[in-house]
Amino acid sequence: MSAESPAKKGLAAIKGTHDILPSEVGCWQQAEALARTLFELYGYREIRTPVFEATELFERGTGETSDVVTKEMYTFTDKGGRSVTLRPEYTPSVVRAIIEHRLDLQPEPLRFYYFGPMFRYDKPQKGRYRQFHQIDVEVFGEMDAAIDAELIEMAQAYLAGVGVTEAETLVNSVGCRTCRPAYSRALRQAAEAKKDALCEDCRRKADLNPLRIFDCKIEACRRIADGFPRILDFLCDECRDHFAKLRAYLDLYGIPYRVEPKLVRGLDYYTKTTFEIVSGKLGAQNSLVGGGRYDDMMKDFGGPDICAIGFAMGLERLLSVARLEPPRPRFLYIVTLGEDGKRAGMTLARSFRRAGIECLIEFKDRGLKAQLGRASKLGAAWALIAGEDEVRTGRFQLKDLATGRQVAGTPDELLPVLREQ
Ligand code: AMP
């Protein structure tokens, strides 16, 4: 009888989620390690927040009219009758954490980065998953457009560091509470005039939050939205000045970018700068990095009036275009023969590991040849044989599996050989 596969029994991973297998994990670790090193060079520190939060946090933060909140949240009632949500994004959590712990009163700069899974009930396709991973970066309390430019520069430095080429930076300004109402009115009027041609969802958005029409994925709606008024023509003096400065600072860094007036990003909270880094290599889901300012969220949550800007980068998308080559671990395979050899091998493995040498010892009953074959197959750098003679004399044969070179010695004598690269 053939064994039934887990997928057939209904035990497969849930649609839109995926396993990150040991063969893939090296790239993830390398991407994370590079992010950690780079972001810390810019003064950012890691913060970790819970995977689920009160639903209200995202309704108020991400925004009640955003697609994320209206359609995509994993929301459920817990056993205590509270409505909780698996975080669809990270920004509202960090804002909550700052207010809750009054991090703004600490002497450290409010610059944070974070890695972790996010959850959105979206239609799965290449580059779009229901559980995906983001690297997020947020900086608080910096109003100057110089920080907007520095953040974009840091995102670009990171992408260059992981070998992403062919990435384009798009920038826009979505205005603020002073100038956006007039723009929303103009947009609503334009949408009203084209009402019959827009999808039902866009007609609803036209009433609630016309800016969200730009998020529609339907081609006909997108074409109509192309002809709508442009936010850049409605900016107040302050927002126009901020946007001009951002572009000047990007020029100072020599960063190429394109102004994209339809770039409103899918979340409700953005003010002034929005930006995205896209890659032509990604296909339909071409956004690698998305970010912008959200100067009102902290005070809207009842916290201090502190402005903010940040970005999020999708790791699945990043890794599909990055060129990473994680170093292969060099490890020692300990071959053991008989009970005495096994006992000697166990003690040897322990002392080598304590000396920082990666060691693998396996306990299946295999002969010498089979164990050496296995060491090669697993990619061990060396094999060390612990047989009867070796145990008796205290001297072991160490074989370099790439060159075939053998050396014999006591464990102390072999240690420097194992440390050689
Ligand atoms: P957002 O939080 O929507 O601004 O998205 C920021 C980044 O997260 C995007 O640029 C993508 O790289 C990534 N991302 C967003 N949604 C998904 C998803 N459903 N699956 C995979 N990556 C995503």
Tens of pLDDT, residues 300-319: 999 999 999 999 999 999 99
Given a cut of 80, whether residue 128 has pLDDT beyond it is yes
pLDDT at 208: 83
pLDDT at 174: 94
Atom of ligand 1 nearest to the CA of 265: 4
* C-alpha of residue 196 to centroid of ligand 1, in Å: 31
* C-alpha of residue 323 to centroid of ligand 1, in Å: 20
Would the CB of 124 count as within 6 Å of ligand 1?
no
Please tell me the residue having the least CA distance from ligand 1 atom 8: 314
Atom of ligand 1 nearest to the CA of 130: 19
**pLDDT tens for each residue of 209-243:** 888 888 888 888 989 998 999 999 999 999 999 99
Atom of ligand 1 nearest to the CA of 129: 20
* C-alpha of residue 313 to centroid of ligand 1, in Å: 7
Given a cut of 90, whether residue 328 has pLDDT beyond it is no
pLDDT at 281: 87
pLDDT at 6: 61
Please tell me the residue having the least CA distance from ligand 1 atom 21: 128
Atom of ligand 1 nearest to the CA of 124: 19
* C-alpha of residue 314 to centroid of ligand 1, in Å: 5
**pLDDT tens for each residue of 9-62:** 678 999 999 999 999 999 999 999 999 999 999 999 999 999 999 999 999 999
Q: What is the mean pLDDT of residues 368-377?
A: 96
When pLDDT is cut at 50, 70 and 90, the band that residue 2 belongs to is very low
What are the phi and psi torsion angles at 331 (to 5°)? -135, 160
Would the CB of 122 count as within 6 Å of ligand 1?
yes
pLDDT at 268: 78
* C-alpha of residue 289 to centroid of ligand 1, in Å: 8
pLDDT at 1: 41
Of all residues in the chain, the percent with pLDDT exceeding 90 is: 80
* C-alpha of residue 177 to centroid of ligand 1, in Å: 26
Atom of ligand 1 nearest to the CA of 68: 3
When pLDDT is cut at 50, 70 and 90, the band that residue 76 belongs to is very high
Q: What is the mean pLDDT of the chain?
A: 93
* C-alpha of residue 287 to centroid of ligand 1, in Å: 7
Would the CB of 292 count as within 6 Å of ligand 1?
no
Q: What is the mean pLDDT of residues 395-419?
A: 94
- Give the least confident one: 115-124, 182-191, 300-309, 404-413: 182-191
Q: What is the mean pLDDT of residues 177-181?
A: 92
* C-alpha of residue 278 to centroid of ligand 1, in Å: 11
Atom of ligand 1 nearest to the CA of 127: 21
Mutate to test the pocket of ligand 1, among 138, 285, 293 (most ligand atoms within 8 A of CB): 285
Given a cut of 50, whether residue 272 has pLDDT beyond it is yes
Would the CB of 18 count as within 6 Å of ligand 1?
no
* C-alpha of residue 99 to centroid of ligand 1, in Å: 26
pLDDT at 14: 94
pLDDT at 285: 83
Given a cut of 50, whether residue 87 has pLDDT beyond it is yes
